Amino acid sequence: MRVGVFDSGIGGLTVVKSLLEHQLFAEIIYFGDTARVPYGIKDKTTIVRYAIEAVEFFKNFELDLIIVACNTVSAHALEEMKEASSCPVIGVVEAGVLATANALKNKNSNVLILGTKATINSKAYEIGLKTEGFYNLQAKATGLFVPIVEEEIYEGEVLEATFKHYFKTITAPDAIILGCTHFPLISEALQNYFSKTSLLIHSGDAIVEYLEKEFELKNRYKNPKLEFFASESPDSLKNIAKKWLDI
């Protein structure tokens, strides 16, 4: 299968990392809209417009599937992307909800949803989790983590101060949904702040779980063909990919 992975910028590489670890695809074509990131502070109309442009971009390749690695786009524009695309389109929100439901047997579990402003405002995770029977939910927009991670700050004072700022009124959760591409990079710091026993839901692992269940992906590809495209500074995206994905 040849798959397209779409993100607003570089963050979706965390999802590519999971895809590579599980060797699911023969070819991965990544597109990051680095010229217009962040999407997480934009409104739905703009997010949908950009997302449809990404579908148009992917029409240059004969794809079998588009994976929306971006939580913000998955929360706001998945249906519109499906309508515009000739191949299936799947997103990380549904996958994250199902991964949470599979992992937590107790419906009373306290689930903390973290994401960009746009993701949290959409209530997409909350709606999905409520449909799965969860009701003990906390949600917090934590957009500052995006530039912090892009500064390669994964621990220390700046992050601690930001945790204190955001989590003043948050009670220690049983599970944390890392509802943004960047947040897996601070997962260790988040667990140190809350509790090492909090379950973390990572979009990349969730999408792998979803793919393995929904699509019959029997073959494994040790050396998939990888191509990286960006709407701005493609070389910088390629360098980050080399570093994050160890390629």
Residues of the shown chain interacting with ligand DGL in the complex, contacts defined by CB under 6 A? 7-9, 11, 37-40, 70-72, 116, 119, 146, 180-182
Question: Least distance (Å) from ligand DGL to the CB of residue 12?
Answer: 6
Distance in angstroms (rounded) separating the CA atoms of residues 187 and 211: 23
Of 30 and 39, nearer to ligand DGL (C-beta) is: 39
Choose the catalytic residue: 3, 70, 73, 113.
Answer: 70
* Distances 77 to 55, 164, 217, 231 between C-alpha atoms, Å: 11, 32, 26, 19
Distance in angstroms (rounded) separating the CA atoms of residues 53 and 90: 16
Of 151 and 216, nearer to ligand DGL (C-beta) is: 151
Q: Is 87 among the residues known to form the active site?
A: no
Distance in angstroms (rounded) separating the CA atoms of residues 2 and 64: 6
Of 18 and 181, nearer to ligand DGL (C-beta) is: 181
Question: Least distance (Å) from ligand DGL to the CB of residue 31?
Answer: 12
Alpha helices of 22-70 — where are they, by DSSP H? Answer: 44-58
Q: Which amino acid is at 208?
A: V
Beta bridge partners of 65: 3
Question: Least distance (Å) from ligand DGL to the CB of residue 120?
Answer: 10
Q: Is 70 among the residues known to form the active site?
A: yes
Of 181 and 198, nearer to ligand DGL (C-beta) is: 181
Question: Least distance (Å) from ligand DGL to the CB of residue 115?
Answer: 6
* Minimal CB distance residue for ligand DGL: 40
74, with CB counted inside 10 A (0-12, 13-18, 19+), is buried
**Which amino acids are annotated catalytic?**
70, 180
